[in-house]
Amino acid sequence: MATAIASADKLFGKSPAEIENLKNAFYRIMTGLEFMPNSPCLMNAGKDLGQLSACFTLPIDDSMESIFETLKVTSLIHKSGGGTGFNFSRLRPKNAMVKTTGGIASGPISFMKVYDAATEAVKQGGTRRGANMGILRVDHPDVMEFTTCKENNNQITNFNISVAITDVFMEKLSKGEDYDLIDPHTHKPVKRISAKEVFDLIVKQAHKNGEPGVIFIDRINQYNPTPKLGMIESTNPCGEQPLLPYESCDLGSINLDRMCKHVGTRCEIDWDKLKEVTRLAVHFLDNLIDVSKSPLPQIEKATKLTRKIGLGVMGWASLLIRLGIPYNSEEAVALAEKVMSFIMNEADKKSIELGKVKGTFPAFKGSIYDKKDAPIKMRNATLTTIAPTGTISIIAGPSSSGIEPLFAISYYRNVMDNDKLVEVEPLFEEAAKAKGFYSRELMEKIAENASIENVEGIPADVKRVFVTSHDISPEWHVRMQAAFQKYVHNATSKTINFPHDASIEDVRKSYVLAYELGCKGLTIYRDKSREEQVLNVGKPTAGQKQEVKEAAVPSKREIAPRPRPEVIIGTTTKVATGCGNLYVTINVDEEGRPFELFTQMGKAGGCAASQLEAVGRLVSLGFRSGIDVKAIIEQLRNIRCPSPSWEKGQRIFSCADAIARVVERRLVNAQVKLAAEVQAIPMKHSSEDVHLSVEDLDDHGDIVGVCPDCGGALRHEEGCQKCHACGFSKC
């Protein structure tokens, strides 16, 4: 990788000795875990694929040609390993007239679903699904439908969504006034609506399951470095990189955990080292643009026109711990501004230096740097970004992710044969041993809790410094994001964590505070908010609603299962699942009532066979106890596993989902549609596949799913879904 990136200097007449020195410098800061580029660069530099950019934004105009041309490009980008961002605001609203056909438009949300289905079918780099950002302006007529389009967690699963909020909207909101919804096709107002009503819905949905997020689109364009090229409409999937159409983001992060030195018994920031690494990282990312192979000519042209890079940080929480500074403190916020302003200033100096040697970015004329009195010869239109670092912070670890606080002090990591190993934050283990309170029993006890706040046997000064995301109030989360944003050219990726019992008003205050403090967007996540449907089948936690249908509860006289007749008849249905062909046999009694269900999966054995047998036995028990068949179907439908498949035009999410569809097909009238679908915990297929349970979710509310690579827990962080067990990142 160092060789490939350093080779770009050949284009500018550098000697072999100079290039060798540069390669060695790049190699040193990476092997020293002081700097890491984004994952595509790690995976592809020096290889034939050579696609080194993390994400791309693509335009969508109001025509079928544009919609599906962009969809084709999206598929090619996902195939190469990149993510994509879109703004659907140019599409005419639902039910608008289409003159060419005399019909009516289906609206932006319908096309988002088409893009979502295509993403599901195309694996990123042949290994994982792509990630998307879907954006709609707050003044689009379909904004209310867009805001609720992910109310069901099983829909549009390959998208993060954000509402693009304007300054006019925020002004109307503060005054309690109505504002105009504007048809993007005619550019004329079609309706006036209460700003409070729309904002209330956005906040309500975010409180419910974390989506939509918001981006403050006018503030983003206020800092658009090349306004003559057009307005910025969209961002990459995690929202930290606002980009013009076809631009790509080339990202890297400095590991702040490695930017400190010991002075006696104290730890201090090594500013000289931070300066050196910053300057080398800017050179690295600028070179990356020249050696990266773009999926399309338009992307190469747009990327090289502005040469935007995004240098950020990781290990912020780890650095604060080394310095003995609590994350939720005025001292930490002030230091965030000091560190990021230092990085941005040094990055600016290096970009100017490169601009003098290699030339400015081609769109320099008319940019914010093209000043009449003294032009600033910048090589890059933007330099700094705070990006998610889910994968690279594990590689560079032990290091905390991005600018997030620690997610846990101690936790369980699932390994082979369902063994659980206790993982402890290294800095905490070091402190515990130094202060004499370390024990494996204490570490296991901590692993059962979200924080150490209420754990006995830990000194108060240690508790003060080792705070986790759920110990920190949302206000401190927002203030930390705003502190970094002051010295970031692009935007800042961070999740604002809320406790489960947080109110809708708490979420509203955070959105308003983020706008007031100068943030360019906000993503929130309320603890356990994505498991409400799952918990509906059991006892609800505080603040959660119990929504179990009465039909699902047998009466006292139905509790005893019917005895089995000597002979019964039935049918066997073959269903293709992601795990192989599943054979589902349903038997009925002499009165035609469903009695029992058997399953067989090819040559499956071990855990897979036992789990299928368990499902069959429980479904049979439900049949024999008189439970409504629809209630059984409802509990099994849409349970997801990492290997979905297609069967006769329908998506089969898992073996449990396949069983539900067979039961519905054989026992329920085909015209009957279920009133609701329940999201549930994915079924365990093998000892190395899925290791998540209802108990896991009860203890760790930020778990939102199962890792498709290792079966560990997917957690919601930095606007993304990440696995701490193996480093998988949805984004």
DSSP 329-350: SHHHHHHHHHHHHHHHHHHHHH
pTM for the full predicted model: 0.76
Question: The tokens 């290096």 sit on which residue?
Answer: 350
122: its two tokens: 């195309």
Task: Look at residue 394 in the predicted model and tell me its pLDDT.
Answer: 86
pLDDT band at 430 (very low <50, low <70, confident <90, very high): very high
Which of the residue ranges 210-219, 459-468, 647-656, 692-701 would you say has the lowest mean pLDDT? Answer: 692-701
Task: Look at residue 81 in the predicted model and tell me its pLDDT.
Answer: 78
Q: Does the pLDDT of residue 677 top 70, yes or no?
A: no
Mean of pLDDT values over 291-304: 94
Q: What is the mean pLDDT of the chain?
A: 86
Q: Does the pLDDT of residue 612 top 70, yes or no?
A: yes
Question: The tokens 């925020």 sit on which residue?
Answer: 170
Task: Look at residue 123 in the predicted model and tell me its pLDDT.
Answer: 64
Q: Which of 169, 228, 226 is nearest to 199 (CA)?
A: 169
Q: Do residues 421 and 443 lie in contact, with contact meaning Cβ atoms separated by under 8 Å?
A: no
Burial class (CB in 10 A: 0-12, 13-18, 19+), 28: middle
Highest mean pLDDT among 414-428, 555-569, 676-690: 414-428
Q: Does the pLDDT of residue 190 top 90, yes or no?
A: yes
Q: Do residues 287 and 277 lie in contact, with contact meaning Cβ atoms separated by under 8 Å?
A: no
Cis omega (within 30 of 0) for bond into 212:
yes
Mean of pLDDT values over 548-562: 43
Cα dist from 657 to 21, 292, 574, 647, whole Å: 57, 42, 13, 12
Beta bridge pairs of residue 213: 162
Mean of pLDDT values over 370-374: 89
Q: Does the pLDDT of residue 642 top 80, yes or no?
A: no
Q: Does the pLDDT of residue 534 top 50, yes or no?
A: no
pLDDT band at 209 (very low <50, low <70, confident <90, very high): very high
| Secondary structure class of 600 (helix, strand, coil) | strand
Task: Look at residue 605 in the predicted model and tell me its pLDDT.
Answer: 60
CA angle 359, 361, 365 (to 5 degrees): 100
pLDDT band at 220 (very low <50, low <70, confident <90, very high): very high
Task: Look at residue 578 in the predicted model and tell me its pLDDT.
Answer: 80
Task: Look at residue 101 in the predicted model and tell me its pLDDT.
Answer: 66
Residues 6+ apart with CB under 8 A from 215: 135, 162, 163, 164, 165, 235, 239, 242, 491, 520, 521
Q: Does the pLDDT of residue 150 top 90, yes or no?
A: yes
Highest mean pLDDT among 104-113, 153-162, 505-514, 703-712: 505-514
Q: Please, which contacts does 706-710 make with residues 24 or more away whose CB atoms are closer than 8 Å?
A: 706/640, 706/641, 706/642, 706/682, 707/642, 708/128, 708/642, 708/643, 709/128, 710/414
Element spanning 352, H or E: helix 330-358
Catalytic residues: 236, 238, 240
Task: Look at residue 720 in the predicted model and tell me its pLDDT.
Answer: 75
Q: Any idea what DSSP says for residue 259?
A: S
Q: Which of 190, 231, 236, 229 is nearest to 213 (CA)?
A: 236
Which of the residue ranges 517-531, 596-610, 621-635 would you say has the lowest mean pLDDT? Answer: 596-610
Q: Does the pLDDT of residue 90 top 90, yes or no?
A: yes
Neighbours of 506 (CB within 10 A): 18
Q: Does the pLDDT of residue 521 top 90, yes or no?
A: yes
Q: Tens digits of per-residue pLDDT, 126-137?
A: 556 678 999 999
Task: Look at residue 691 in the predicted model and tell me its pLDDT.
Answer: 33
Q: Does the pLDDT of residue 356 top 90, yes or no?
A: yes
Q: Does the pLDDT of residue 233 top 70, yes or no?
A: yes
Residue 600 one-letter amino acid:
Q
Using DSSP bridges, classify how beta strands 420-424 and 178-182 pair: parallel, antiparallel or unpaired: unpaired
| Secondary structure class of 526 (helix, strand, coil) | strand
pLDDT band at 709 (very low <50, low <70, confident <90, very high): low
Q: Any idea what DSSP says for residue 264?
A: T
Q: Does the pLDDT of residue 670 top 60, yes or no?
A: no
Task: Look at residue 102 in the predicted model and tell me its pLDDT.
Answer: 66
| Secondary structure class of 86 (helix, strand, coil) | strand
Mean of pLDDT values over 154-172: 95
- Selected residue with higher pLDDT from 318 and 408: 318
Task: Look at residue 699 in the predicted model and tell me its pLDDT.
Answer: 41
Mean of pLDDT values over 439-444: 88
Q: Which of 656, 664, 568, 562 is nearest to 613 (CA)?
A: 656
Task: Look at residue 88 in the predicted model and tell me its pLDDT.
Answer: 97
Task: Look at residue 681 in the predicted model and tell me its pLDDT.
Answer: 32
pLDDT band at 683 (very low <50, low <70, confident <90, very high): very low
Task: Look at residue 243 in the predicted model and tell me its pLDDT.
Answer: 97
365: its two tokens: 């004329």
Mean of pLDDT values over 48-58: 91
Residues 6+ apart with CB under 8 A from 408: 425, 447, 450, 451, 468, 700
Residues 6+ apart with CB under 8 A from 558: 625, 626, 627
Task: Look at residue 148 in the predicted model and tell me its pLDDT.
Answer: 96
Q: Any idea what DSSP says for residue 70?
A: H
Task: Look at residue 502 in the predicted model and tell me its pLDDT.
Answer: 95
Mean of pLDDT values over 668-679: 38
Q: Does the pLDDT of residue 712 top 70, yes or no?
A: no
Task: Look at residue 665 in the predicted model and tell me its pLDDT.
Answer: 86
129: its two tokens: 């699904």
pLDDT band at 251 (very low <50, low <70, confident <90, very high): very high
Question: The tokens 């890079």 sit on which residue?
Answer: 309
pLDDT band at 407 (very low <50, low <70, confident <90, very high): confident
